[in-house]
Amino acid sequence: MQKNSIKSSEITDKQTYLNRRQFMRAGALLGTTAATALLYRKLNQPPVEKVKGESLAAVAKTESAASNGFTTNEALTSIEDITNYNNFYEFSTDKQGVAIAAAGFVTKPWEVSVGGLVNKPRTFGLEELLKFPLEERVYRLRCVERWSMVIPWTGFPLASLLAKVEPTSQARYVAFETLFDPKRMPNQSTGVLDWPYVEGLRLDEAMHPLTILATGLYGEVLPPQDGAPVRLVVPWKYGYKSIKSVVKITLVADEPPTTWNIQAPNEYGFYSNVNPHVSHPRWSQEQEHRIGESTFSSRDTLLFNGYAEQVAHLYEGMDLRKEY
Ligand SMILES: Nc1nc2c(c(=O)[nH]1)N[C@H]1C(S)=C(S)[C@@H](COP(=O)(O)O)O[C@H]1N2
Ligand SMILES: [Mo]
């Protein structure tokens, strides 16, 4: 799993990724599914040289994307690591065993029901979700276990989905639920967690432009082990908030229960913002290991996982030590 040289892994990642995109441009990877075709269209912008007039706009867009936190120039974690080092307890508690346990997980058909305190409750089929304008977002993911990755997601802002159902003025939180189907998610036959896995956000966190529903990574359809076919990604919070394989979204008035808070309330709060100054009861959160970098290297963990500029205002006046 670990790579010995940062340099070579960086180069390999970037080249693999760029090659893959070149490939897609040539149409060679154009698959048969609507999902793949849509990703292909969304991700393959005309090359800059061919639209000279637009090249300045393209640069400006990239810069604003970086300042919005929508992308980062940090080295991408390799697709091998992203897809073979996973937390997805429905399949396995062994990070290196999730990929095999989840292989063959059937995600078609798939529906996400969105309801609760909304004017227009409705159920979205996967095909409908893939019609939202997909964007690429390169986010850091910081697991509470002190490892991190840099992942190029494709997805769309959760806010776009919520706008369609029109939350009422009573809605203050959003609750999320993973599929419960022990036949398809074999570890749900064990009591390792309370099933289904549930998560929640305050409505303003859910509406924040950094919060996305991801349907792909590295320009490909989301692999089962990463939460296919649709999962939440909230980059300034510990990884467990980014709930996988979502089937239900409910707008509610009160703070909803969350799986890790149910499991160990003294260790995991509702907010779960990445915070190097608030230790986990059993370990410090000051440092992290970037997967793919040399085994003994570590880096400082940043407040809000480095997204403070974008999200700190959401927590003004809150005591982040109490509301962990
Ligand atoms: N349904 C569900 N979602 C989940 C988990 C899980 O076990 N079940 N694990 C969480 C944790 S702890 C992390 S760190 C991230 C990992 O996402 P990744 O495997 O795509 O990197 O998924 C989160 N979402
Ligand atoms: Mo995690």
Q: Which of 30-34, 134-138, 280-284 has the lowest mean pLDDT?
A: 30-34
Mean pLDDT of 296-301: 97
- For residue 240, the CA-to-ligand 2 centroid distance in Å is 5
- The pLDDT of residue 58: 72
pLDDT above 90: residue 108: yes
The residue ranges of DSSP E strands in 164-276, in sequence order, are: 173-178, 198-202, 212-217, 220-221, 231-233, 246-252
Rounded mean pLDDT, 12-35: 40
Q: For residue 55, what pLDDT band results from cuts at 50, 70 and 90? A: low
- CATH code that applies to domain 8-315: 3.90.420.10
pLDDT at 94 over 70: yes
* Average confidence (pLDDT) over 17-26: 42
Q: What does the pLDDT read at residue 192?
A: 97
Q: Which residue has the tokens 């000051």?
A: 286
Task: Answer for the pair 146, 238: CB distance below 8 angstroms, yes or no.
Answer: no
Q: Above 70 in pLDDT, residue 198?
A: yes
Q: How far is the CA of 313 from the centre of ligand 1 (A)?
A: 26
Find the length of the chain: 324
DSSP collapsed to 3 states, 42-103: HHCCCCHHHHHHHHHHHHHHHHHHHHCCCCCCCCCCCHHHHCCCCCECCCECCHHHHHHHHC
- Residue matched to tokens 């940062």: 6
Region of 225 please: left (phi>0), alpha (psi -120 to 50) or beta.
Answer: alpha
**In the chain, how many H helices and how many E strands?**
10, 12
Residue with tokens 């997601």: 153
Closest to 186 (Cα-Cα) out of 98, 126, 288: 98
What number is the average pLDDT over the span 295-310?
97
- For ligand 1, say whether the CB of 86 is within 6 Å of any of its atoms: yes
Decide if pLDDT at 27 tops 80: no
180-193: pLDDT as tens digits = 999 999 999 999 99
Q: Which residues pair with 176 in a beta bridge?
A: 199, 249
Establish whether residue 199 lines the binding site of ligand 1, counting it when its CB lies within 6 angstroms of any ligand atom. Answer: no
Regarding the beta carbon of 226 and ligand 1, being less than 6 Å apart is answered yes
Ligand nearest to the CA of residue 197, numbered in listed order: 1
Residue 60, pLDDT score: 77
| Contact in structure between 293 and 6 (CB atoms under 8 Å) | yes
Which of 242, 267, 289 for a ligand 1 pocket mutation test, highest count of atoms within 8 Å of Cβ? 242
Tell me, in angstroms, the distance from the centre of ligand 1 to residue 269's CA: 16
Nearest residue to 40 via CA among 50, 29, 53: 29
Q: Looking at residues 244-250, what average pLDDT do you find? A: 99
Give the Å distances, CA to CA, from 135 to 70, 80, 310: 9, 22, 18
Q: Is the predicted pLDDT of residue 79 greater than 60, yes or no?
A: yes
What spacing in Å lies between the alpha carbon of 91 and ligand 2's midpoint?
Answer: 15
201 or 34, greater pLDDT: 201
> pTM of the predicted model, to two decimals?
0.85
Cis peptide leading into residue 109 (ω within 30°)? yes
- Provide the pLDDT for residue 57: 67
User: Count of CB atoms within 10 A of residue 149's CB?
Assistant: 19
Q: Which of 15, 145, 144, 147 is nearest to 79 (CA)?
A: 15
- 37's tokens: 């075709």
Residue 37 has pLDDT above 80, yes or no: no
pLDDT of residue 61: 77
Residue 54 banded pLDDT, cuts 50, 70, 90: low
Burial code (b: 16+ CB inside 10 Å, e: under 16) for 187-223 equals bbeeeebebbbbbbbbbebbbbebbbbbbbbbbbbbb
Q: What is the helix (H) or strand (E) element at residue 123, kind and residue range? A: strand 122-125
Q: Whose CA is nearest to atom 7 of ligand 1?
A: 88
Shortest-distance atom of ligand 1 to CA 238? 14
Q: Is the CB of 148 under 6 A from ligand 1?
A: no
CB 211 within 8 A of CB 137: no
Domain ranges of the chain: 8-315
